Protein backbone atom coordinates (compact mmCIF):
# COMPACT_ATOMS: atom_id res chain seq x y z
CA UNK A 1 0.00 0.00 0.00
CA UNK A 2 2.93 2.35 0.53
CA UNK A 3 3.57 2.59 -3.20
CA UNK A 4 -0.08 3.27 -3.88
CA UNK A 5 -0.20 6.10 -1.32
CA UNK A 6 3.05 7.53 -2.67
CA UNK A 7 1.48 7.56 -6.12
CA UNK A 8 -1.67 9.19 -4.73
CA UNK A 9 0.41 11.90 -3.03
CA UNK A 10 2.25 12.62 -6.26
CA UNK A 11 -0.86 12.74 -8.43
CA UNK A 12 -3.45 14.61 -6.39
CA UNK A 13 -3.98 18.05 -7.92
CA UNK A 14 -5.25 19.85 -4.79
CA UNK A 15 -2.68 20.79 -2.11
CA UNK A 16 -5.15 20.13 0.72
CA UNK A 17 -5.84 16.64 -0.59
CA UNK A 18 -2.11 15.96 -1.03
CA UNK A 19 -1.58 17.06 2.56
CA UNK A 20 -4.13 14.56 3.87
CA UNK A 21 -2.77 11.82 1.60
CA UNK A 22 0.76 12.47 2.97
CA UNK A 23 -0.62 12.05 6.48
CA UNK A 24 -2.14 8.70 5.51
CA UNK A 25 1.18 7.73 3.92
CA UNK A 26 2.99 8.58 7.18
CA UNK A 27 0.51 6.39 9.08
CA UNK A 28 1.09 3.53 6.67
CA UNK A 29 4.86 3.92 7.05
CA UNK A 30 4.45 3.77 10.83
CA UNK A 31 2.26 0.67 10.48
CA UNK A 32 4.92 -1.01 8.37
CA UNK A 33 7.54 -0.13 11.01
CA UNK A 34 5.36 -1.58 13.78
CA UNK A 35 4.81 -4.89 11.99
CA UNK A 36 8.48 -5.04 11.02
CA UNK A 37 9.48 -4.51 14.65
CA UNK A 38 6.94 -7.11 15.77
CA UNK A 39 8.23 -9.67 13.28
CA UNK A 40 11.82 -8.96 14.31
CA UNK A 41 10.92 -9.35 17.98
CA UNK A 42 9.13 -12.65 17.37
CA UNK A 43 12.08 -13.94 15.34
CA UNK A 44 14.61 -12.83 17.99
CA UNK A 45 12.54 -14.36 20.81
CA UNK A 46 12.17 -17.65 18.97
CA UNK A 47 15.91 -17.66 18.25
CA UNK A 48 16.74 -17.04 21.92
CA UNK A 49 14.33 -19.77 23.03
CA UNK A 50 15.81 -22.23 20.54
CA UNK A 51 19.28 -21.55 21.93
CA UNK A 52 18.08 -21.93 25.52
CA UNK A 53 18.77 -18.29 26.35
CA UNK A 54 16.74 -16.42 28.97
CA UNK A 55 14.14 -14.02 27.66
CA UNK A 56 13.82 -10.79 29.56
CA UNK A 57 10.16 -10.02 30.00
CA UNK A 58 8.30 -7.42 31.90
CA UNK A 59 8.77 -3.71 32.10
CA UNK A 60 8.69 -3.16 35.84
CA UNK A 61 11.25 -0.71 37.18
CA UNK A 62 12.84 -1.74 40.46
CA UNK A 63 14.76 1.48 41.21
CA UNK A 64 12.23 3.43 43.30
CA UNK A 65 13.65 6.86 42.43
CA UNK A 66 13.66 6.17 38.69
CA UNK A 67 10.21 4.59 38.95
CA UNK A 68 8.75 7.59 40.81
CA UNK A 69 10.30 10.05 38.36
CA UNK A 70 8.76 8.16 35.43
CA UNK A 71 5.38 7.95 37.18
CA UNK A 72 5.51 11.70 37.84
CA UNK A 73 6.24 12.33 34.16
CA UNK A 74 3.37 10.07 33.11
CA UNK A 75 0.95 11.86 35.44
CA UNK A 76 2.10 15.26 34.20
CA UNK A 77 1.71 14.25 30.56
CA UNK A 78 -1.69 12.64 31.19
CA UNK A 79 -2.81 15.91 32.78
CA UNK A 80 -1.48 17.93 29.82
CA UNK A 81 -3.13 15.61 27.28
CA UNK A 82 -6.45 15.93 29.14
CA UNK A 83 -6.06 19.72 29.08
CA UNK A 84 -5.34 19.55 25.35
CA UNK A 85 -8.45 17.43 24.84
CA UNK A 86 -10.55 20.16 26.50
CA UNK A 87 -8.86 22.86 24.41
CA UNK A 88 -9.56 20.88 21.24
CA UNK A 89 -13.24 20.56 22.17
CA UNK A 90 -13.44 24.32 22.75
CA UNK A 91 -11.65 25.03 19.46
CA UNK A 92 -13.97 22.66 17.62
CA UNK A 93 -16.97 24.64 18.88
CA UNK A 94 -15.55 27.86 17.39
CA UNK A 95 -15.24 26.51 13.85
CA UNK A 96 -18.00 27.32 11.43
CA UNK A 97 -19.34 24.20 9.84
CA UNK A 98 -18.88 25.23 6.24
CA UNK A 99 -16.93 24.31 3.18
CA UNK A 100 -14.10 26.73 4.00
CA UNK A 101 -13.42 25.07 7.35
CA UNK A 102 -13.97 21.44 6.28
CA UNK A 103 -10.25 20.67 6.10
CA UNK A 104 -9.62 22.26 9.51
CA UNK A 105 -12.42 20.17 11.00
CA UNK A 106 -10.86 17.00 9.58
CA UNK A 107 -7.41 17.97 10.88
CA UNK A 108 -8.78 18.90 14.29
CA UNK A 109 -10.49 15.50 14.45
CA UNK A 110 -7.15 13.86 13.62
CA UNK A 111 -5.38 15.72 16.44
CA UNK A 112 -8.22 14.79 18.81
CA UNK A 113 -7.83 11.11 17.89
CA UNK A 114 -4.07 11.37 18.40
CA UNK A 115 -4.64 12.93 21.83
CA UNK A 116 -6.93 10.06 22.81
CA UNK A 117 -4.32 7.56 21.60
CA UNK A 118 -1.58 9.35 23.55
CA UNK A 119 -3.71 9.13 26.69
CA UNK A 120 -4.25 5.41 26.15
CA UNK A 121 -0.52 4.79 25.70
CA UNK A 122 0.51 6.95 28.66
CA UNK A 123 -2.02 5.23 30.93
CA UNK A 124 -0.81 1.84 29.70
CA UNK A 125 2.80 2.71 30.53
CA UNK A 126 1.90 4.23 33.89
CA UNK A 127 -0.21 1.24 34.89
CA UNK A 128 2.54 -1.23 33.96
CA UNK A 129 4.98 0.54 36.29
CA UNK A 130 2.74 0.32 39.36
pLDDT of residue 57: 64
Cβ-based neighbour number of residue 122 at 10 Å = 19
CA 130 – CA 125 distance, rounded (Å): 9
Domain ranges across the chain: 1-57, 60-130
Mean pLDDT of the 11-17 span: 93
pLDDT class of 46 with cuts at 50, 70, 90? confident
pLDDT of residue 52: 84
pLDDT class of 96 with cuts at 50, 70, 90? confident
pLDDT of residue 56: 61
Q: How far is CA 98 from CA 49, 104, 112, in A?
A: 58, 10, 20
Strands in the chain per DSSP E: none
pLDDT of residue 113: 96
pLDDT of residue 47: 83
In sequence order, the 6+-apart residues with CB closer than 8 A to the CB of 59 are 128, 129
Amino acid sequence: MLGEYEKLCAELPAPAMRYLARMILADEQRHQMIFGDLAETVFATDDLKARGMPILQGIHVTDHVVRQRALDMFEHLITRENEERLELLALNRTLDKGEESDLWIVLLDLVTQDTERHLTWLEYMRDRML
